[in-house]
A and B are shown apart, each in its own frame.
Chain A
């Protein structure tokens, strides 16, 4: 058994048992996520420079040993800026996914439990929402509210909510037919107790993995908006903002665009891959 990358606590331990075998790929992904988590919590651990330390003697330097990601037009170390940008970028990803899931749980449970007219109406609303591609819905919101961090989170959150809502609804529909729900109701438990104690946890369990996948996706969407100049504005070291400010120098200083992009890709890929592993485990446990 190699190192335990996913701590066996709470829900995880119960569904996957005590033996957790970790493949090398999964371990690498967990390591990347761990590094980014450290960067978000305590960036000064990973770099001795400051994110805004201007050094006009060393502008637009290509990656080297002393500047692994190169420097920008003000001589700031890009690696340091990426590390310091982690907090805001992860915050946006988590915020957007949290908002999307809250909307999805509300709509999904309402449709799945109430059934009848409520279900028809919500299903139709979701169908209309699906007619808009995520990015376009986000752009419409930004046009209305003006670009800001809050708008960005709300835009990505609302844009991705319909997909989750459909999943939650399907999950609720599936679980409410289970024999143990029937048994709990037959035992005379109140409806709310059955929902809270049995239906909710069982319907949500497979969605834990979906939430993990969603965080990676949200970070990518948010950075895409920032790339278009509609997200967090430079000089913030947020990853999307780094992409935005690097575009001016794309023909001369490739690292300003490629390096922050690479970090976003690696983080999104790691989170997604961890989510998939989790999904397999949870599905395996359900069988």
Chain B
């Protein structure tokens, strides 16, 4: 299969997965118990009552509930391709408007955490692999421990220690650079443990490879580790970085709520609490899209990093 054809197949598959994901979120909206127009009116007025058909009609019309299901479905999927995610039940405005301003802070948080996790993981790997039993053990124990910590607990400990006891960072950080440090670390520490566990195994294997002969040329140990071994041992963890994005988004929802940081995680939890299903669906779909695209890019990039895979 030629490279162009291979890429085309992968892109088409990704689009099909996303259309299927959109179908899931569309039909999910139909699963809301009871009549949707009634639910919307009750949500807005804060009451729990039955409404007359005359009162329900304008709501049904505005959200298009009066049209046949297939028309609603095609309208929804078609709207997605035009960048329309539907209308919020509680705010009566397009979901894109509700989440628009919140995307950037969340993106800063997740990308910052991914970078920080890599830096942390590599620093621990370079410092502890093959440095005697004790130091090596310390490194792998740290990785195993941090990899299994739940995000909220890491966040709570960081908050209590560095914001409440020592007052180095603010308790409620907003989007300021200083206030972003703790949320980023909250997401980065467990992820670094996870990436480190995978890279460590590879790094040890690579150090035993016959091509690590640079040492006999008089290169320093640190030089061998940085220039030769590292390059070959990060591949598996890079593949998993695309997957890690999903874990990061889940973590961001928790970190944003804990640190009172604006972002789609905050909007999402508010929307879940007010049963604003279109907003929840919209955010879930945006995240799924980012996730699928990121994995597609990783998949394609992999062929560039490792030429052996291009053939197969």
Q: Which residues on A are within 8 Å of B, measured CB to CB?
A: 124, 127-128, 131-137, 139-147, 216, 220, 223-224, 227-230, 243, 247, 250-251, 254, 257-258, 261-262, 264-265, 268-269, 272
Contacts and interface: CB of A to CB of B under 8 A. Distances in A.
Given A134-B246, A216-B148, A227-B152, 12 more contacts: A132-B21, A139-B284, A140-B284, A143-B272, A143-B277, A144-B29, A223-B152, A254-B160, A261-B157, A262-B153, A269-B148, A272-B148
B153 A131 contact: no
Interface residues of B, number: 48
A142 B273 CA distance: 9
B281 to A, nearest CB: 7
B32 A224 contact: no
Contact of A133 (B24, B148, B250, B273): B250
A243 B277 CA distance: 26
Looking at chain A's contact residues, the main secondary structure is: helix
B250 A135 contact: yes
Interface stretch (B207-215, B287-295, B300-308): B287-295
Contacts of A229: 269, 273
A44 B159 CA distance: 34
Q: Which 6 A-B pairs have the closest CB atoms?
A: A135-B250, A133-B246, A261-B153, A143-B280, A131-B288, A128-B20
Looking at chain B's contact residues, the main secondary structure is: helix
Contact of A140 (B20, B25, B160, B246): B25
A144 B150 contact: no
Nearest to A138: B250
Given A131-B18, A132-B284, A133-B250, A224 B271 contact: no
Contacts of A136: 249-250, 253, 268, 283-284, 287-288
B250 A131 contact: no
Given A136-B249, A257-B160, A144 B153 contact: no
Given A251-B171, A261-B150, A140 B280 contact: yes
Nearest to B288: A131
A254 B276 CA distance: 33
Contacts of A250: 156, 159-160, 164
Contacts of A141: 28
B21 A128 contact: yes
A265 B20 CA distance: 36
Interface of B: 17-18, 20-21, 24-25, 28-29, 31-33, 145, 148-153, 156-157, 159-160, 164, 171, 246-247, 249-250, 253-254, 257-258, 268-269, 271-273, 275-277, 280-281, 283-284, 287-288, 291-292
A224 B160 contact: no
Nearest to B277: A143
Contact of B156 (A124, A142, A146, A258): A258
A227 B280 CA distance: 18
Contacts of A216: 148
A258 B160 CA distance: 9
Contacts of B254: 135, 224, 227-228
Contacts of A247: 258
The residue in A143, A250, A262, A268 that gathers the most chain B C-beta atoms within 10 A of its C-beta is A143
